[in-house]
Chains A and B, each alone.
Chain A
Amino acid sequence: MADITAPAYRVIPIIPVLKPGSMEGPGPYVANEKIQEGLGFPGKLVDDWHDQAIAKMGELLGKYRSLKVFMDACVHCGACSDKCHYFIGTQDPKNMPVARQDLMRSVYRRYFTLPGKFFPKLVGARDLTREVLDEWHNYYHQCSECRRCSVFCPYGIDTAEITMAGREILDSVGYGQKYDNEIIGKVHKIGNNLGLPGPALIDTLEGLEEDVKEDTGIDVRFPVDVKGAEVLLITPSADFFAEPHIDSLIGYGKVFHATGTSWTLSSMSSEAANFGMFIGNYEQLRKVALRIRQAALELGVKRIVVGECGHAWRVAYSFWNTLTGVGDGADQDDQFAMMLQKQLDHRYKQPTHICEFTWDMIQRGALSFDKEANDKHIITFHDSCNVARGSRMGDYPGGQFDIPRNIIKSVANHFVEMDPSTTHEQTFCCGGGGGLLTDDLMDLRVKGALPRMEVLQQVADQHGVNFLAVICAICKTQFSKVMPYYGFNRNMVGGVHQLVSNAIKLSDK
């Protein structure tokens, strides 16, 4: 894919003109029969896909209030129309959130509303044809489910919910996406997205212990399957070997070491990511999450801590209690949840983000840092979409913005913010989230990174920023891949706990 180039920065960030059809195409690779059937979906497009798709839509409309209300409530006001990074980067009008929703809303109106049944042209309703289905596959895989549009919608319409429903319908008629569904299959079979089996994981972690020993002279352990450990760490499997992810894993290990926390990983449940959310399938979402419940019960841990990963933190924070009982406040007669909630230590929030853990320890004075160790870095922080708009940290709204920044400021001297219209709740997606982190979507990924790259360029020019700190495995991979297209060094990207790792003072015990 040598012909992929980054779009030019906008001189002032004006709203781009429309280029209809600029992202038309077949969309990402379609999942093969083996992948599909592994998840219990039809292997290939079923003969009566039309009827099945409409039936599935009807089922989802009855199961999800979000979908039902969002289908009805839109008034086409256009508040969202210039808010999507993929629209800004591609100028394809179908990447405007409202237009993406309308790909489904037009079908909803045709089959589920009176005006659409009798006056389809008037209300923009249309039949579900093969062309429409192909369009869904293409454009519902040009949405990273980042929820930026939902911040601005006067009715809170969240395009992510509609994208998820679209993918769910496509899966149910045998038209799945290869990348997402293949990965979910690996988690079911092996326990992580990478398909890294237990022995290989243990081997990798032993190597890591040696590296850290060589580096620091200290025996920092990376324990696996330790029964009775206090903390179970659930982290994205990319942390086990991908760059720069692994440097953050070392950071978590050092924090646990320095605070004397007994902790463990699980070889059976070695994945925080949950692509079940990306495909909007509750059963898959639940099945992937249940491995964590199982590991927690088997290992008898008191706390569950989650590593740096955006959508995983959304799933953990917002959905784990619902899906698996990891959390608090279940009814006394809720045996499924109580079984686990009785075991967990409720002096701490369950689950806890690694940033919450580290910040808590910093506040207690349990950690000390050599901030000068990070002096070569002029740091800015990219809020990952799922953390910013789909979760929280700490005990007040917006803690998810402050805690990672507080950590950075505690371990480093040079920190600057990017343009406030692109951070906090208004942050832009990295361009690779929501199950799109695949090479067959590289063109989209490069273009989708445009709004973030523009403001990164600003702080690089004005303040000499040379380190983009993130707390998401997808952001890390995406940025290190697409930043060279914009003339940045790929090594500029790193985790918050990589900075912690650089500066933390360790002792021998």
Chain B
Amino acid sequence: MISILFAILFYFATLMFIVGSIYRISVYTRTPAPLKIPTTPAPITSGGVVMRMLREVVLFESLFKANLWTWGLGWLFHASLALVLLRHLRYFTEPVWAWVVFIQPFGMYAGITMLLGVAGLWARRIFVERIRYISTPSDHLMLALFMFIAVSGLVMSFVDHTDVIAVKGFILGLMYFDMQTLPSGFSIYVHLFMVASLLIIFPISKLLHAPGLFFSPSRNQADNPRDKRHISAWAKQLESEK
């Protein structure tokens, strides 16, 4: 029974995540950027822009300039999360890809550093006056969500082991529409429920910062306004009216 509920939940969550994200990204793509507004100094060529975006996405360059604590904790959290996510590919692939096998031990410990990152960011949100002032309840809940996910995952890895073979069977079953039983257990239920929640809220929350960054005109525009005329469709229309 619980297996069926989780199956429904995950199909729903995946649908929301994919449809919602595609919708959001299509809105960003459709909305014009009528003026050249890169924050300068900015790269002059599109190759340079790719490098700038890479530094922003991989190294959090701007945040590094802003605040070393936020950068350190934020980067620790995101890099750990990325490792953890990649490690989890083992539950979606059979046979497991070699490089996923390779990162498995790192991915396990990344769960711990991810938790540390979240805890640090949360402490900052609570104890730094300025950050506390700008925080909404949803900001705290988001951190709570990640914390629950990390803790429940770590519990399964290090304390109260779950039958991961069966979990993998359940997940592969979802992927190939061949329903399998999910092993019972408090941690696995919490873990999966929170992950599904995350997928659902992704396209309607501040988690949109992930796709948003790629569409940020102050970062993704090349600094070449004198060399190439940049004009949006609605602005061009003004030139025919007169």
A residues in contact (CB < 8 Å) with B:
15, 17-18, 20, 61-66, 68-70, 72-83, 93, 96, 98-99, 102, 113-115, 121-124, 147, 150-158, 161, 282-283, 286, 317-319, 321-322, 325, 327-331, 334, 336-337, 349-351, 388-392, 395-398, 400-401, 425-426
A-B contact pairs, 25 of them (CB 8 A): A18-B133, A63-B31, A66-B217, A72-B24, A74-B209, A76-B125, A76-B135, A76-B206, A77-B70, A77-B74, A78-B70, A81-B130, A96-B133, A102-B134, A121-B137, A122-B138, A150-B39, A151-B62, A155-B216, A322-B230, A331-B229, A389-B39, A389-B40, A392-B223, A397-B42
With both beta carbons as reference points, the residue of chain A lying nearest to B135 in the complex is identified as A76
B residues in contact (CB < 8 Å) with A:
24, 27-28, 31-37, 39-44, 56, 60, 62-63, 65-67, 70, 74, 124-125, 128-131, 133-139, 141, 201, 204-206, 208-209, 212-213, 215-219, 223, 225-231, 234-235, 238-239
CA distance A318 to B218 in the complex (A): 12
Chain B residues whose CB sits within 8 angstroms of the CB of A93 once the complex forms: 130, 133-134
With both beta carbons as reference points, the residue of chain A lying nearest to B42 in the complex is identified as A397
Given contacts A68-B27, A397-B43, A398-B41, contact A78 B34 (CB under 8 A): no
Contact: A73 with B216, CB < 8 Å?
Answer: yes
CA distance A161 to B31 in the complex (A): 15
CA distance A350 to B35 in the complex (A): 17
CB-contact partner of A69 in B65, B216, B225, B226, under 8 A? B216
Contact: A328 with B124, CB < 8 Å?
Answer: no
CB-contact partner of A115 in B135, B139, B205, under 8 A? B205
Contact: A400 with B40, CB < 8 Å?
Answer: yes
- Max chain A Cβ within 10 angstroms of own Cβ: one of B134, B213, B234: B134
CB-contact partner of B213 in A121, A147, A155, under 8 A? A155
CA distance A350 to B212 in the complex (A): 33
- Contacts between the two chains (Cβ within 8 Å), count: 225
Contact: B67 with A78, CB < 8 Å?
Answer: yes
Contact: A336 with B239, CB < 8 Å?
Answer: yes
Chain B residues whose CB sits within 8 angstroms of the CB of A15 once the complex forms: 130
With both beta carbons as reference points, the residue of chain B lying nearest to A341 in the complex is identified as B229
| Closest-CB distance, B223 to chain A (whole angstroms) | 6
Contact: B32 with A63, CB < 8 Å?
Answer: yes
| Closest-CB distance, B234 to chain A (whole angstroms) | 6
Chain B residues whose CB sits within 8 angstroms of the CB of A319 once the complex forms: 35-36, 225
Chain B residues whose CB sits within 8 angstroms of the CB of A65 once the complex forms: 28, 31-33, 215, 217
CA distance A69 to B214 in the complex (A): 10
Contact: A76 with B136, CB < 8 Å?
Answer: yes
CB-contact partner of A122 in B36, B37, B141, B229, under 8 A? B141
Given contacts A282-B235, A317-B226, A397-B43, contact A152 B136 (CB under 8 A): no
| Closest-CB distance, B162 to chain A (whole angstroms) | 31
With both beta carbons as reference points, the residue of chain B lying nearest to A15 in the complex is identified as B130
Given contacts A282-B34, A282-B235, A318-B35, contact A151 B65 (CB under 8 A): yes
Contact: B66 with A152, CB < 8 Å?
Answer: yes
With both beta carbons as reference points, the residue of chain B lying nearest to A148 in the complex is identified as B39
Contact: A123 with B37, CB < 8 Å?
Answer: no
Contact: A158 with B212, CB < 8 Å?
Answer: no
Contact: B37 with A318, CB < 8 Å?
Answer: yes
Contact: B226 with A349, CB < 8 Å?
Answer: yes
Contact: A321 with B131, CB < 8 Å?
Answer: no
Chain A residues whose CB sits within 8 angstroms of the CB of B228 once the complex forms: 321, 328-329
Chain B residues whose CB sits within 8 angstroms of the CB of A102 once the complex forms: 134
Chain A residues whose CB sits within 8 angstroms of the CB of B234 once the complex forms: 63
Chain A residues whose CB sits within 8 angstroms of the CB of B205 once the complex forms: 115, 123
CB-contact partner of A337 in B27, B137, B208, B229, under 8 A? B229
Contact: B208 with A72, CB < 8 Å?
Answer: yes
CA distance A18 to B39 in the complex (A): 28
Contact: A66 with B65, CB < 8 Å?
Answer: no
| Closest-CB distance, B226 to chain A (whole angstroms) | 5
CB-contact partner of B219 in A156, A286, A388, under 8 A? A156
Chain A residues whose CB sits within 8 angstroms of the CB of B238 once the complex forms: 283, 286
| Closest-CB distance, A361 to chain B (whole angstroms) | 19
A-B CB proximity, top 4 nearest: A73-B212, A124-B136, A152-B66, A79-B66
CA distance A151 to B218 in the complex (A): 9
Chain A residues whose CB sits within 8 angstroms of the CB of B28 once the complex forms: 65, 68-69
Contact: A156 with B216, CB < 8 Å?
Answer: yes
Contact: B223 with A73, CB < 8 Å?
Answer: no
Contact: A334 with B229, CB < 8 Å?
Answer: yes
CB-contact partner of A66 in B138, B213, B218, B231, under 8 A? B218
Contact: A99 with B134, CB < 8 Å?
Answer: yes
| Closest-CB distance, A13 to chain B (whole angstroms) | 14
Chain A residues whose CB sits within 8 angstroms of the CB of B227 once the complex forms: 327-329
CB-contact partner of A73 in B66, B129, B133, B208, under 8 A? B208
Chain B residues whose CB sits within 8 angstroms of the CB of A151 once the complex forms: 39, 62, 65
Chain A residues whose CB sits within 8 angstroms of the CB of B230 once the complex forms: 321-322
Chain B residues whose CB sits within 8 angstroms of the CB of A99 once the complex forms: 133-134
Q: A61-B31, A77-B70, A93-B134 are in contact. List 6 more A-B contacts (CB 8 A).
A: A17-B129, A64-B32, A72-B206, A79-B66, A152-B65, A155-B213
Contact: B225 with A318, CB < 8 Å?
Answer: yes
Contact: B204 with A69, CB < 8 Å?
Answer: no
Contact: B128 with A78, CB < 8 Å?
Answer: yes
- Max chain A Cβ within 10 angstroms of own Cβ: one of B41, B60, B213: B41
CB-contact partner of B229 in A69, A321, A388, A426, under 8 A? A321
Contact: B229 with A327, CB < 8 Å?
Answer: yes
- Max chain A Cβ within 10 angstroms of own Cβ: one of B65, B135, B230: B65
CA distance A17 to B133 in the complex (A): 11
Contact: A63 with B35, CB < 8 Å?
Answer: no
Contact: A68 with B31, CB < 8 Å?
Answer: yes
Chain A residues whose CB sits within 8 angstroms of the CB of B231 once the complex forms: 322
CB-contact partner of B62 in A17, A153, A336, A395, under 8 A? A153
Contact: B131 with A64, CB < 8 Å?
Answer: no
Contact: A98 with B136, CB < 8 Å?
Answer: no
Chain A residues whose CB sits within 8 angstroms of the CB of B32 once the complex forms: 63-65
Chain B residues whose CB sits within 8 angstroms of the CB of A83 once the complex forms: 66
Given contacts A63-B32, A115-B205, contact A397 B40 (CB under 8 A): yes
CA distance A151 to B24 in the complex (A): 25
CB-contact partner of B60 in A78, A154, A161, A398, under 8 A? A154
CA distance A98 to B70 in the complex (A): 15
CA distance A155 to B228 in the complex (A): 25
